[in-house]
Amino acid sequence: MREAVRTGHLAPGTRLPSSRQLATDLGLARNTVADAYADLVAEGWLTARRGSGTLVADRMITRPILARSAADPSGDFCHDLIPGSPDLAAFPRAAWLRATRRALAAAPDDALGYGDPRGRPELRAALADHLARARGVHVSPEHILICAGVSHGLQILSGVLAGRGARNVAVESYGLDRYWGLLAAAGLKTLPLPLDTHGTDPVPPVGTDAVLLTPAHQFPVGTALQRDRRTAVVEWARRTGGLVLEDDYDGEFRFDRQSVGALQGLDPDCVVYLGTASQTLAPGLRLAWMALPPTLAEEAVAAKGQIDSCEVVSQLTMAEFITSGAYDHHVRAARRRYRDRRDALVTALLQHAPKVRVIGTAAGLHTVLGLPPGTEQRVLQSAARQGLKVAGLSRYRHDRSLSAMADALVVGYGVPSDAAWPQALSALVRILS
C-alpha cells in the first residue's frame, strides 16, 4: 500500500475498503488488516476519520501515475480489465476445502490409481445431471470426457478431426487466436464466418468439416446466437455430417433472464459441448468437460490417451462440490456479483461517457464498449498510461475475416477483487469520458 500511495496508484482521497472487506478479499484475519491500517495511519500514508472510513492522505504523492512515459505502456498496471478470468479473490476456498475433505474421505483407494481416461466416474455422473438441469445438455456419463480446459478439449478434437481427414473448420470472425492456433497445429484450416449486426452467420461454406461457436455469448462481441441461426447450424450439421463444437465458456452467467440452453440439446449427435470451470471457479484448476456425440466418443477418448491426464483430487472435489449444492450456491453468488458490476459500469458510462455504447447481451464477465470511429488505439494508449490493462476489439479479429467491426474496447469486469473494482471502474470511466 505504501508503494501504491507513493507512486500515485492510490490517489489522495481514495476511500479504502473496510478492514473487514479487505480481510475477506485477501483471506487474512481482520485484525491483521486493521493493524496494518493503523500503522499506515500512524506513518501518515492514510487518514482515518470516524464516519468516513480510511482514506489515502493528501500529501504523500511523489510520483503521480500520469507522469508515466507513454513509451512504457507495459509498466506495472494497477487494474486488469482483460477478459478471460473471474475474480480469483472470490474463489470459494473454504467450501472447496470442505468438499476436498469429504471427497477424499469417501473415495475408494483405487480412485488414486491411473484410472479411466474419460475421467472420474463420480464427476462424469455429477456433470451429466448438472448440465441437463442448468444448460439443457443431453448426455450420459459414459460420453463425457474430462479435460484440462477448453483448450485441451479442442486439442483432442482437432486430433480427432484431422484423423478423420477433415481439412476446414469454420470459426467466428472474432475470437481467441489461441484456439485458431490449436486447430492450425493439427493441420486444420480456420475459415472465418461472416458477421452482421445480429452477430455471426453460423452456416459455413461448402467443404467445411466442423464449426466452432460460442452460441450463448459470442466471445468477445457478446451477442447470443438467434433462434433461427441455432436451428440453421444444426440442420447444416445433420445434412452434411459436419460437427458443431459449442464453447459454452460462460453460459451460466446470463443476467437479464434465464440463460438460453445449450445448442447441444437440439441434437446431441452432431454437437460437441465444451464447458469449463475457468469462468465459474478459476482457470488454475484446469478443469473442463466435453459432452460427446456417441459416434465420436471412442476416438476422442483414444486421442486423450490411455491414462487420465487430469488430476484426480480436483475431479473428486468438483464432483462433491456439484452434488452437495455448493457449486450452484457459488454460481448464484458469482452471478449477482458480476451482474452488479455490469450494472455499475452501464450506469457510470451513461452518466459520464454517454457517447460510449455498451454492446452485447447482459451476460458473462466482459462487455464490449463501442467507441467513436478511429479512437480505439488512442483510448488503449491512454489506458496504458494510467495503469489500466484493457483490450481493443481489433486484437480478437481473425486475420482472414472479411468484415471488420467498428472501434471498441473489450472490458473484462471479472478480474478485480470487490475491493479494487470501484477504483478500476472510476479509472476506466475517467479515460472514456
Ligand X SMILES: Cc1ncc(COP(=O)(O)O)c(C=O)c1O
- Write out the three cell numbers for 232: 440453421
Residue (16 or 126) nearer to ligand X, CB? 126
Q: How far is the CB of 323 from ligand X (least distance, A)?
A: 22
Indicate which single residue of 121, 141, 265, 283 sits in contact with ligand X (rule: CB under 6 A).
283
Residue (149 or 202) nearer to ligand X, CB? 149
Q: How far is the CB of 9 from ligand X (least distance, A)?
A: 26
Cα 264 to Cα 45, 219, 222, 370: the distances in Å are 56, 18, 19, 31
- 263 forms part of the interface with ligand X (CB under 6 A): no
Residue (96 or 174) nearer to ligand X, CB? 174
C-beta of residue 43 within 8 angstroms of C-beta of residue 4: no
Residue (5 or 81) nearer to ligand X, CB? 81
Q: How far is the CB of 259 from ligand X (least distance, A)?
A: 16
Q: How far is the CB of 73 from ligand X (least distance, A)?
A: 22
Which strands make up the sheet holding 271-276, listed edge to edge?
A: 144-147, 288-291, 271-276, 243-247, 210-213, 168-172, 189-193
Residue (283 or 370) nearer to ligand X, CB? 283
| Residue 200 parent element (H or E) | strand 199-200
Three-state DSSP at 361 gives: coil
Indicate which single residue of 8, 84, 204, 215 sits in contact with ligand X (rule: CB under 6 A).
84
Q: How far is the CB of 253 from ligand X (least distance, A)?
A: 12
Q: How far is the CB of 363 from ligand X (least distance, A)?
A: 13
Residue nearest ligand X, Cβ-based: 149
Q: Of the ranges 33-41, 130-138, 232-240, 276-284, which one interacts with ligand X (CB under 6 A)?
A: 276-284
Q: How far is the CB of 82 from ligand X (least distance, A)?
A: 9
Residue with cell 469520458: 433
Q: How many helices (H) and strands (E) does the chain have?
A: 13, 17
- 222 forms part of the interface with ligand X (CB under 6 A): no
Residue (209 or 247) nearer to ligand X, CB? 247
Furthest C-alpha separation in the chain:
74
Binding mask 131-160 for ligand X (x = CB under 6 A): ------------------xxx---------
For ligand X, the binding residues in 284-343 under the rule CB under 6 A are 288
Indicate which single residue of 87, 122, 247, 252 sits in contact with ligand X (rule: CB under 6 A).
247
Indicate which single residue of 96, 174, 180, 249 sits in contact with ligand X (rule: CB under 6 A).
249
> Is there a cis peptide before residue 220, judged by omega within 30 degrees of 0?
yes
Alpha helices in 107-164 (DSSP H): 121-135, 150-163
C-beta of residue 8 within 8 angstroms of C-beta of residue 61: yes
- 276 forms part of the interface with ligand X (CB under 6 A): yes
Contacts of 166 (CB under 8 A, 6+ apart): 188, 209, 210
Q: How far apart are CA 428 and CA 312, in angstroms?
A: 41
Q: How far apart are CA 175 and CA 209, in angstroms?
A: 19
Size of the site for ligand X (CB under 6 A): 13
Residue (213 or 428) nearer to ligand X, CB? 213
Which phi and psi angles does 168 have, rounded to 5°?
A: -120, 130
Residue (45 or 219) nearer to ligand X, CB? 219
Which strands make up the sheet holding 391-392, listed edge to edge?
A: 357-359, 366-370, 408-412, 391-392
Residues that bind ligand X (CB under 6 A): 84, 149-151, 176, 214, 219, 247, 249, 276, 278, 283, 288
